[in-house]
Amino acid sequence: MKRIYVNEQWCLGCHLCEYNCAFANTNSENKCRENDMAKALKNKVINPRIRIEEKDDIHFAVSCRHCEDPLCVKGCIAGALSIVDGVINIDQDKCVGCYTCILSCPYGAIMPADSGSVIQKCELCTKNSCGEPACVKGCPNNAIVFEER
């Protein structure tokens, strides 16, 4: 299955993936249309599902790895996390906000949604109109790729 892979060697730490992620997952009607990023994100504190980890000259993006045997799904007490065609999905209607998944994810790739009462995570842009994940599409240096390995 195609997954998002990051390559530290080419990551510039520009953080554009975070903004592309936040933009792709806004509720703006015109999401994924580049012209509207200013409208969608102006004066907003973004809460992206991909995050740059960095120290000094080292940068790389971290997002859900869609593990084959995911601890988050195993630990979910509400049945909100499930695997659909290899993609780990979150059903926010079922999520009770216990944060067990956040604590159990070894990669720190799950985080609370803006409301704080449910969680959010990368779902490979399957639930928005982006098609290919927005972080991959917008990465200026091929540091984030979407491929079969």
Partner 1 sequence: MAINYSIPEFEIVRNTDRCIGCRACERQCANEVHYYDPDLGKMMADDTKCVNCHRCVSICPTRALKIVKNNDTLRENANWTSENILEIYKQAATGGVLLSSMGNPKPLPVYWDKILINASQVTNPPIDPLREPMETKTFLGKKPEKIERDKDGKIVNNLSSQLELQVPIMFSAMSFGSISKNAHESLARAASELGTYYNTGEGGLHKDFYQYGPNTIVQVASGRFGVHKEYLEAGAAIEIKMGQGAKPGIGGHLPGTKSIGEVASTRMIPEGSDAISPAPHHDIYSIEDLRQLVYSLKEATEYKKPIIVKIAAVHNVAAIASGIARGGADIIAIDGFRGGTGAAPTRIRDNVGIPIELALASVDERLRQEGIRGQVSIVVGGSIRNSADVVKAIALGADAVYIGSAACIAMGCHQCRSCHMAKCNWGIATQRPDLVKRLNPDIASKNLVNLVSAWNHEIKEIMGGMGINSIESLKGNRLMLRGVGLTQKELDILGIKHAGE
**What does the binding site for partner 1 look like in residue numbers (CB under 8 A)?**
9-10, 12-16, 18-20, 23, 34-35, 37-38, 41-44, 57, 138, 140-143
Nearer to partner 1, 46 or 71 (CB): 46
Nearer to partner 1, 17 or 90 (CB): 17
Q: Are 97 and 114 in contact (CB under 8 A)?
A: no
Nearer to partner 1, 38 or 84 (CB): 38
Alpha helices by DSSP H, 9-142? 16-24, 37-41, 71-75, 100-104, 134-138
Q: How far is the CB of 117 from partner 1 (least distance, A)?
A: 26
Q: How far is the CB of 98 from partner 1 (least distance, A)?
A: 32
Q: How far is the CB of 125 from partner 1 (least distance, A)?
A: 16
Beta bridge partners of 88: 83
Q: How far is the CB of 19 from partner 1 (least distance, A)?
A: 5
Q: How many helices (H) and strands (E) does the chain have?
A: 5, 8
Instruction: Using CA atoms of 75, 78, 45, 15 in order, give the dihedral in degrees to the nearest 10.
Output: 40
